[in-house]
Structure 1
Amino acid sequence: MFIMIVAFIIIAVIGVWESMISLMKRTRVPGSLLSVYKMFLLFIVYLTMIVAFGSIYLCLVMIDIPVLQEGAVNLSDLSLTPLVKIQSVLYFSAVTLLSVGYGDLTPIGIGRWIAILEALIGYLMPAAFFVTTIVDYRSSSKL
């Protein structure tokens, strides 16, 4: 079971890495600053990040490492159903990646470091997206 969870975490990290690499590639439709393809790619990258980080949180919760708490209740609590746990980690992952967070779910322990990394990636992704788009547009318009 532990080996499966570690393998799942490794796959999630690889998915995050590959998504970032595909976002950084220079793929622009000639003659346009922004393309539907780039916007769709950004959406897919965000979705991949939310699911990957949510999977990391869920795997840690499954092996009884407390990473999130809601009020005074840890998500590692056995009384919570698996669906509630999945819903909570995906919600927390999306809120952390897309905004500062609402404070209803709080990271604890190693979850704080994972949340910091996720928030940092969430803040850098739009900047990377727009910088690569502008640089690509300027370099192709000079040709």
Structure 2
Amino acid sequence: MSKESRSIAPLSESERELWHAIKKLGENVISRVGNDIERRTGLSGSDFGVLTRLEDLGGGTLGQAELGKSLGWDKSRLSHHLSRMEKRDLVAREAAELGRGVIITITDTGRREIAAARPVHAGAVRKHLLQHISERDAAVILKLARRLSAA
């Protein structure tokens, strides 16, 4: 154990309670939204994340490294997930020019699937999150999220 870690006090009960509440909030909402998408469209939450980033960040095409970074996934997880999506004809992979990485492109099937899933996603976000918070609460959450992202 490092000297620094020995000198830091453990979380207090209220700090621990806040930490767990924030974790549980994110986990529960993401899980419920993902379950709704999967049940109604067959796309997993991870599939939805990949396809929306391809469309929203790259107009349908992104480098694999950039895609992984936007998802916060390591190379192995992304590669395995893309292989599964490729088998279902949701995405295609090709080597980038001069051997500089891999390019991921959403297929026509992937575009149809994500178009069908977006309204389901919107409804699920409204059902599992937005209808439970006021505009004032939303403003506070956004302000906090922006501050934490900048830190």
Name the TM tier (shorter chain).
under 0.3
TM-score by length of 2: 0.27
Higher relative contact order (CA 8 A, sep 6+): 1
The alignment's TM-score, normalised by the length of structure 1, stands at 0.28
Q: Which has the higher helix share?
A: 2
